[in-house]
Amino acid sequence: MTSTVRPGLLAAFRKILQPLVRILLRHGISFGELAEVLKTVFVEVAARDFSLPERKVSQSRIAILTGLTRKEVAKQEALLASGAELDFPANLNRVIRVLDGWHTDPEFTGPYGMPLDLPFDAPTPATFMNLVRKHSGDMAARAMLDELLRVGAIERLASGSFKVLARAYIARDFDPNALQRFGEVVRDFINTYEFNMDSSPGLRRFERIVFADNGLRQDLIPAFNALIRAKGPQLLNELDNWLSAQDTKSPLRGKESKRVNTGVGIYHFISED
C-alpha cells in the first residue's frame, strides 16, 4: 500500500467507526472487548481471503499479515475452530421469509396479489400455521405470531384472523434480531463499496447516492422523509416481486447454478457533521 493511501484509508475507517463506537459505548462495551473481537476477525479474514494458491495459510503468515503474535493467532484459530459464535442466534431471515411469502405466495394471496387475512389454524390451506410451516422451516408458529405482533407487522382482527400490515421486518430496539440485521446491513453496504473500489467500471455493482448540495432546510426534512417513504417501497416491492418470481421458474436444462445472496437496500441519511 502506498504511503498516500494509508492515511486516507485510516481516516475513512475513523469515520466508519465513530457511529459504531457510539453504539458500543451506549451499551457498555469496552475497548478491550472490541479489541478481542477485532483479533478474531483479523485472523478469520486473513486465513479465508489471503491464502496463497494451493497452500494452507500458516500461523506465521497470518501473524505477518495481521501484526498479531503467533500465540495470539493460535488462540483465535482455536476459538474459531471450536465453533463458538460471537453473533446472537436469531430468526431474522425466517421472519423475513414469512412476510415475503404472505405477500407473494399465491396460496396466501387473493385477487390482484393482495395478502389474505389468515386464521391461525383452520381446515383450509390458507392459515398462519401453514404459512409459517411453508416459509420458515421448523420455527414454531406461535413464536412467529408473537414476534410479528410485537413489532407491529401484523394485527389481530375482531374475527380472530390476522392481517399483515408490513412487508418489511424491522426489529425494535437492540434485541437479537435487530442486532443481526444491523450487522448484515452495514456489512453488505461496505462489501459493495469494497468491490466497486477494486473493479473496473463495467463490472461494478449499482451504488448511487443523492443529496442536497447546499444542505436542506430543516423544516423540509419531514417532507423529504415522506417522499422517501412513499417512493422507496414502490421500487423495493417491484424488485422483491421479481426476486420472488424467480423461485417459481425452472432452470434451463443443465444450467442450474449455485445460489448467491443478493439484494438492494435504500436508506435515508442525515449527517451530524
Q: CA angle, corner 244, sides to 243 and 250, nearest 5?
A: 95
- What pLDDT does residue 84 have? 58
- What pLDDT does residue 169 have? 79
**Is the Cα torsion angle 171, 89, 167, 121 positive or negative in sign?**
negative
pLDDT digits (tens, 9 = 90+) for 242-258: 988 887 776 666 666 78
Contacting residues for 128 by C-beta, under 8 A, at least 6 apart? 118, 119, 120, 121, 141, 144, 145, 162
Q: Are 166 and 180 in contact (CB under 8 A)?
A: no
Q: Are 168 and 240 in contact (CB under 8 A)?
A: no
- What pLDDT does residue 30 have? 82
- What pLDDT does residue 88 have? 42
Local mean pLDDT, 10-residue blocks, the chain (273 residues): 77 88 82 89 91 84 92 89 57 82 94 93 94 88 91 94 89 69 86 87 89 92 94 91 81 72 89 71
C-alpha cell recorded at residue 100: 415475503
- What pLDDT does residue 81 have? 84
- What pLDDT does residue 223 have? 96
Q: Are 159 and 151 in contact (CB under 8 A)?
A: no
pLDDT digits (tens, 9 = 90+) for 85-123: 544 444 567 888 899 999 999 999 998 889 999 999 999
Contacting residues for 159 by C-beta, under 8 A, at least 6 apart? 117
Helix, strand, coil in percent for the chain, rounding step 5: 55, 5, 40
